Structure 1
């Protein structure tokens, strides 16, 4: 049997989904994989408990998965969530004569239940307090509380016993606080002693002249004697200190003290003693409401609450609970949260005249209960994120409560009970903390999401930068994926060189060995920064060597050069580093670095310094380190273009042209250098078969500037397959357009599939070229080819007025006919020019008409054969033995109306319909139900009128035929329906849990 607590239905709900921060344009997403397997859904979802109460629900209490529901007919419904199919009905009518239930209080363990009753309207019996244990159905009266209306109970959350409640506090409607203990009398479960201790307190006189009351612990002392609306006490950690929090209609009280003797009863009197003759500590808010509500949020059961909330007319007083900030105040960071006056359903609708009836707290949100709706409010930014409108059929909402042990949230109206599920409510907390500038908390709630953590770090770095904490900002910026260039520029704009160096060095630490380009860039930049700083302090003499600032920079520079990544980078880029140091005139560091890295190419560099370029080229050719070619080729090409180009050619495939490309580009100053670069690039392409796009593009750019006649030859040599050409076709087209190489533009446009543009350009050169281009498209694309030929024909007729050449198109392209080009001629052209073409066209149309006639005759004969087959099929019959059974129900087939299919399967009519309905679409199901309803109606009329052969029977036959077409068009075992349903599961997803429980 399915539990009533497992059967839920969805109601009208609206949730506000916060917009996730978009990836900033200055943040690189390298390394982030944006993956979302499923939608998180709304934070709060409501599920209705599917049961019908016997009367209006007045109270509900829940704790430790035990629910107690009180109804207006004086019946308690007690349900253990572990066994929800065994609810207990407890009749309390004999205890509530002339009384009504005013309060229902259940302890955290769910074993002790207190029922507060007050006289009904117009009655005079005093208020009563009753007790009910979890294992009994009989109420026990607490005689000594007679006359006191209990409005709040402070349960002992440290209690673990099922037979005793431990010391508890009871608050009354007159502002009094009592302490007592509930305990079972031995093993007699049904003989419960409520007043475990109850005695007159010596030497105690309540404030404001109150007389002594037996068992009284404290009187809050307000002159108006307001009711206690909230009451809880907790032990502060492992110390002997306790806190008691009390709320009335307008005040919050805190009583903090030590309990030194645990055996002394009343236990909590030791806390209140210090407040007997002293003014209480309280917070007050004006309120005209006849109620207030107090709630705590527990991150873990039986632990000190994490937060506190108090609902009044003004709003919710929300505070964190921390006993370590102030020894006299555990409610810290108090703030007033205003109840929302807008709506997520139907726009901004004001509800200022209506105040919440109750509320519950979660870790980051609060659910506010109104008479007709529940609203969810974020506690961090006071934003309305959820709203649930209730149906009037369930009556007005009464209360909302939370299980302090399991955290489940329950709301109930007069006629229904609902459960709220909380799903990943901390999903967007990190973003709220970022907006508030609380970055440590934001990182805590990012939950190792790299994209979120990066967003937090960026915001933190921006804040530190704005506060001029540049060094700290640089360290954090280096851990983000922010744009390297933008961050660097920010520090440069503020001229924070030290912060920039910090950022670069921190960024360098995070780079991997394979990130050689980034490492090289950062190392060279840091060296440049050191050189600038040290150069500013360096004078003509050696006085800078004794400058403390210079000495400090030298130490930092030496430490930087000793980093393994930096050593490796300098070893790979010695020339650049040496040139950089030499440009700053820092001979000391240059000599030190040369000795450190044992620079073998120093000979070549010395030749270059002395302008002995040929000697430097000879040394370069004789050595075996190919990397030196990439370093020195630019300089040597600039000074010795032809010998250097020949030297590069002699190296053959040992050199990578792409790595030489910067050197080749740098020496492109005049035609003499360009010719040598073209020679080397032609060698790479035609001899070495280089397919690198950058090389081909660069050669094209040189051709267009210095050898325009070679462009068309080069394009033709690379083929006409755009997927195979090694150069960038768009780039080539732009280059040719700039220098007005029209023929090359025609070929490139055709290569790109820009046929219309290619033909237009070709027509500016020659008609023959245009014809050549028009013939190039695929033979399957007749429409495009025809369009291109017509464009050429129009050009010939209108631009050249050449009728003879236009007629030749009819012979050259079989797609163009005379009627296609006639509109291009002027009205004064005589028909003699087109006589032959028109006759040929008419003969083709005549032949086409004859072909269509023959096809129609063949179609007529085929239709006649089909009609004969259909007629013969109508006379077909099949013999059904009397013992044949239905393939679905195995009952004899002849007992009811049936269908027999050519495949041999047999079904009763009703069995076939029942088996077929799940396979039909919703539209087909609706149509079948409508036809069956019409058949029933027509059959009834036929019986009443007995009109055989009338219109009714004709209609009936038509309906039956429609039903047959729908359900008997094919066998359900052999037809397409069975094939289409092969991927459908045997058990639907919504029935899976129910079926599995039935199998268990």
Structure 2
């Protein structure tokens, strides 16, 4: 529990927190009581741990905490298990002249290296190893006389027993590669064949290595190694050689052994120490790095895939300066840690938090002298926790939303996309960022881009509009109005109407200016016209136009913009107004063009009478272009109201012919009107029309009786013949055809389907022709044309003076035909007589036919003795018991016969003997009648030789239901 003194100190430290500068809310329309989060970004918590002596060194990794104390003991604890506290007296394993100079814990928290330096010049430095599960120090015996100042751990290692290949840095600038692994006696030592010196940065000078970090580029064998000294940071990039899935980092340094040292950044410093820190992303890949120098924190982004420079993976490197101390000087910290957006700088009595983005001090914690001096600050890379160790106490920092002020920082740096990303959807912050970016674009002259962003802000509508009007940036003003229009809801009707009217005025004004200056055909004009059309089609605009269309019409009329007025009426569906204006001004062709563009059938019906009268050819062309979209019957009143001159009749006929031929119109009124025009003006076209309609009265589309009456009035005789024949008035049609021409009468006589009617018509034609000129040759030709007429049919039509000698040949031919018919009749009679005699003989032979059944004969169905039960015997020789045959035949019967058979059997079994003995109308007892009917059904034919067997030829022997059963029986 926190003591009262600590609570007082924490409250006092709040005064040291540097607050971000307040942003004046001059543009935001949002109500925001407090922009700054009340929860502190960085808060420290004192841990309930009391080391037995002053802390000299510390290390934390994966919730494993190790503290070295002045009394020569190690304090270890698993933070997740507070009961795991353990103290190890390490000093008893060391030489009296050795002192602890470094404590290095691997990322897994399992492997701890302790570096010892000599207190005297004659002493030798040492390196000790202790495992998490061990309480004894094991000194690495194979190590040369080097003092280890830094360890580069292998972040890919997942083994708790082996460290994997690691790098060691010495006080002389040597880089060593080794791996710690167990030997046969399970004691952890440095294996000799994994011990090698791979590079020398010092080149013989005392250049201590203060930082080593290395990592592999994902998916490759490429490694990036960072090494720092107090004044330099080195980059070594190369490919490692793998052996037994273990990399050899020595190969990375091969190219650097023969080339001058160029892959380093040097910052002069008088400090004897420095640090190198990584920040890892969520995928545990290094994202950024930071290097502590005297002049500041050298900070940069890491991008191993960058193609800009193959010798460096650092991008956007910069120097973060230190905050000024009480005396105004920038004092370098003793240690630091790196977070995603901040760095925590540790001094002897305080911790300062500096933003990496704007280098401002955002937080400061002053530690009481009661806790002792600060020794180190550590970030647990795995658990992402920050620990601060003083001489007496241990603290842990809690970070709450360290990105909360990034939106403001990025906004000040004019990185607005990043600023919006970190606004966390806070509308007040977003409004401030958008306002800054819009003002920036406006100041740079990028007015349209500024307009797009101004529309997303809450700044006064009038203020922004005045800014663009004063700058005479009408395109940007339109862009702003358009974006504001999209953001408005349907409830903002007044503002929507105002914007729509204003934007329409701007478009019309700009289009009019371009036309007046002779640029009406330029690409600029066409683009603006296209934008205006898109604007008119906007759903909100088109909806608003219906309410303010009178104002918009007046605007367009004042600008003389007829083209856009027409388009607007199309959008508002106010088509009648435009066409009426054209008709009123007698601009008939423009009215017709407008109708074609509008595609409103009801307007065609409304204006067709006037336009057909004024411009028949153009109107008919427009009607034909509409095709099936128009109903021809609704246009008939317009056609009937036209003058009956040749021009109008020709165009009306042309339209009716088009609609009948191409769209197969069957409306009787249309066909009757077309037939009337043909009968009055073009009888040849009338005959072609009647021929196309055919001779089936059920398929013609006109009124036949009306057509016949009309043709009689117009003296169209040939048409009357065709129509009379269509109505079945054959005699009248032939009579009328004989008045026209003989060939027409013959064609009519050949039409009836009834031979008797055809014969009567041909006789009528023959009588007319023979009576008229008594031409024997022509009479003979009738006999050839119509086989229904004989010589004896036409003889009465000749006069008495004509001798029979002229008809000798046809009469003889007719008599010969009669003789042939008599002979054919005789042959048929003789054949019928023979067939009847054969049938009588067959019947007589069946009377004496018999079949013998022996006592051993069996039923063909059940193989039992046939004579045991009533049986049926067929002429083919098959015999069945009556019940066996019934059982066999029943499934083969239809549903009706099966039902009747069951009913007959039921009557035989239910009725009494007296009822069965009752005589029926045929004189037979009821029993005999029932049995005869059953026999007719059951024994109608043999089931093996009759039609039942033939019908079963395509049926399988085994049904699907019985297949499984049969298969099991066969098995």
Determine whether 1:323 maps to 2:304.
yes
Given that 1:9 and 1:47 are in contact with CA atoms closer than 8 Å, whether structure 2 keeps it comes out as no
Report the CA distance shift for 1:153/1:579 in structure 2 as closer, same or farther (over 3 A).
same
Partner of 1:866: none
Partner of 2:897: none
Q: CA deviation at 1:584?
A: 2.6
Q: Give the Cα–Cα distance (whole angstroms) in 2 for the partners of residues 413 and 558 of structure 1.
A: 74
Partner of 1:195: 191
Q: 2:75 aligns with which of 56, 74, 77?
A: 77
Matches within 5 A, 1:530-929: 530-539=507-516, 546-594=521-569, 596-599=571-574
Partner of 1:509: 486
Q: CA deviation at 1:601?
A: 12
Q: 2:224 aligns with which of 220, 234, 243?
A: 243
Partner of 2:106: 107
Given that 1:574 and 1:599 are in contact with CA atoms closer than 8 Å, whether structure 2 keeps it comes out as no
Whichever of the two has the greater Rg, that structure is 2
Partner of 1:398: 375
Partner of 1:615: none
Given that 1:180 and 1:266 are in contact with CA atoms closer than 8 Å, whether structure 2 keeps it comes out as no
Instruction: Say what the alpha-carbon RMSD is for the aligned residues.
Output: 2.8
Q: 1:93 aligns with which of 85, 91, 94?
A: 91
Q: Deviations over 1:124-158 (max 9, x none)?
A: 33111010100110111101115211000000001
Q: Deviations over 1:746-782 (max 9, x none)?
A: xxxxxxxxxxxxxxxxxxxxxxxxxxxxxxxxxxxxx
Report the CA distance shift for 1:129/1:357 in structure 2 as closer, same or farther (over 3 A).
same
Partner of 1:970: none
Determine whether 1:341 maps to 2:308.
no
Q: CA deviation at 1:226?
A: 0.7
Partner of 2:843: none
Partner of 2:65: 67
Q: CA deviation at 1:39?
A: 4.8
Given that 1:230 and 1:293 are in contact with CA atoms closer than 8 Å, whether structure 2 keeps it comes out as yes
Report the CA distance shift for 1:418/1:8 in structure 2 as closer, same or farther (over 3 A).
farther
Partner of 1:663: none
Q: CA deviation at 1:8?
A: 9.3
Partner of 1:181: 179
Report the CA distance shift for 1:36/1:185 in structure 2 as closer, same or farther (over 3 A).
farther
Q: CA deviation at 1:341?
A: 1.3
Determine whether 1:224 maps to 2:205.
yes
Partner of 2:266: 284
Q: CA deviation at 1:555?
A: 2.3
Q: Give the Cα–Cα distance (whole angstroms) in 2 for the partners of residues 398 and 334 of structure 1.
A: 29
Q: Give the Cα–Cα distance (whole angstroms) in 2 for the partners of residues 246 and 74 of structure 1.
A: 30
Given that 2:210 and 2:275 are in contact with CA atoms closer than 8 Å, whether structure 1 keeps it comes out as yes
Partner of 1:431: 408
Q: CA deviation at 1:429?
A: 0.6
Given that 2:62 and 2:107 are in contact with CA atoms closer than 8 Å, whether structure 1 keeps it comes out as yes
SS class of match (2:324): coil
Determine whether 1:474 maps to 2:451.
yes
Partner of 1:500: 477
Q: CA deviation at 1:353?
A: 7.6
Matches within 5 A, 1:409-424: 409-424=386-401
Q: CA deviation at 1:300?
A: 3.0
Partner of 1:523: 500
Q: Give the Cα–Cα distance (whole angstroms) in 1 for the partners of residues 243 and 545 of structure 2.
A: 74
Matches within 5 A, 1:344-355: 349-350=326-327, 352=329, 354-355=331-332
Report the CA distance shift for 1:545/1:231 in structure 2 as closer, same or farther (over 3 A).
closer
Q: CA deviation at 1:545?
A: 5.2
Report the CA distance shift for 1:374/1:595 in structure 2 as closer, same or farther (over 3 A).
closer
SS class of match (1:104): strand
Q: Deviations over 1:147-196 (max 9, x none)?
A: 2110000000011111111110000000001011112346x65x223226
Given that 1:229 and 1:292 are in contact with CA atoms closer than 8 Å, whether structure 2 keeps it comes out as yes
Partner of 2:29: 28
Given that 2:107 and 2:155 are in contact with CA atoms closer than 8 Å, whether structure 1 keeps it comes out as yes
Given that 2:241 and 2:249 are in contact with CA atoms closer than 8 Å, whether structure 1 keeps it comes out as no
Given that 2:240 and 2:247 are in contact with CA atoms closer than 8 Å, whether structure 1 keeps it comes out as no
Partner of 2:917: none
Given that 2:172 and 2:202 are in contact with CA atoms closer than 8 Å, whether structure 1 keeps it comes out as no
Q: Give the Cα–Cα distance (whole angstroms) in 1 for the partners of residues 223 and 36 of structure 2.
A: 46
Partner of 1:51: 49
Q: Give the Cα–Cα distance (whole angstroms) in 1 for the partners of residues 64 and 274 of structure 2.
A: 25
SS class of match (1:68): strand
SS class of match (2:457): coil
Structure 2 residue runs of 5 or longer lacking an equivalent are 582-971
SS class of match (2:278): strand
Given that 1:294 and 1:311 are in contact with CA atoms closer than 8 Å, whether structure 2 keeps it comes out as yes
Determine whether 1:373 maps to 2:350.
yes
Given that 1:64 and 1:108 are in contact with CA atoms closer than 8 Å, whether structure 2 keeps it comes out as yes
Report the CA distance shift for 1:534/1:266 in structure 2 as closer, same or farther (over 3 A).
closer
Report the CA distance shift for 1:588/1:133 in structure 2 as closer, same or farther (over 3 A).
same
Q: Give the Cα–Cα distance (whole angstroms) in 2 for the partners of residues 239 and 523 of structure 1.
A: 60
Q: Give the Cα–Cα distance (whole angstroms) in 1 for the partners of residues 256 and 399 of structure 2.
A: 41
Q: CA deviation at 1:254?
A: 0.4
Q: 2:166 aligns with which of 161, 165, 168?
A: 168
Partner of 1:258: 239
Determine whether 1:359 maps to 2:355.
no
SS class of match (2:529): helix
Q: CA deviation at 1:575?
A: 1.8
Q: 2:437 aligns with which of 460, 466, 469?
A: 460
Determine whether 1:300 maps to 2:300.
no
Q: CA deviation at 1:600?
A: 10
Q: 1:16 aligns with which of 10, 18, 27?
A: 18
Report the CA distance shift for 1:298/1:598 in structure 2 as closer, same or farther (over 3 A).
closer
SS class of match (1:179): strand
Given that 2:322 and 2:331 are in contact with CA atoms closer than 8 Å, whether structure 1 keeps it comes out as no
Given that 2:322 and 2:330 are in contact with CA atoms closer than 8 Å, whether structure 1 keeps it comes out as no
Given that 1:429 and 1:445 are in contact with CA atoms closer than 8 Å, whether structure 2 keeps it comes out as yes
Report the CA distance shift for 1:88/1:462 in structure 2 as closer, same or farther (over 3 A).
same
Q: Which moved more, 1:333-342 or 1:583-592?
A: 583-592
Report the CA distance shift for 1:548/1:311 in structure 2 as closer, same or farther (over 3 A).
closer
Q: CA deviation at 1:527?
A: 0.3
Question: What TM-score do the two structures reach when normalised by structure 2?
Answer: 0.56
Partner of 1:878: none
Q: Deviations over 1:573-601 (max 9, x none)?
A: 11221222233333443344345535599
Q: CA deviation at 1:562?
A: 1.4
Q: CA deviation at 1:554?
A: 2.4
Report the CA distance shift for 1:162/1:10 in structure 2 as closer, same or farther (over 3 A).
farther
Q: Give the Cα–Cα distance (whole angstroms) in 1 for the partners of residues 365 and 258 of structure 2.
A: 49
Q: Which moved more, 1:372-381 or 1:155-164?
A: 372-381
Q: Give the Cα–Cα distance (whole angstroms) in 2 for the partners of residues 133 and 544 of structure 1.
A: 86
SS class of match (2:364): strand
SS class of match (1:300): coil
Report the CA distance shift for 1:118/1:546 in structure 2 as closer, same or farther (over 3 A).
closer
Q: CA deviation at 1:22?
A: 3.0
Report the CA distance shift for 1:472/1:109 in structure 2 as closer, same or farther (over 3 A).
same
Q: CA deviation at 1:16?
A: 1.4
Q: CA deviation at 1:36?
A: 7.0
Q: Give the Cα–Cα distance (whole angstroms) in 1 for the partners of residues 134 and 447 of structure 2.
A: 70
Report the CA distance shift for 1:382/1:539 in structure 2 as closer, same or farther (over 3 A).
closer
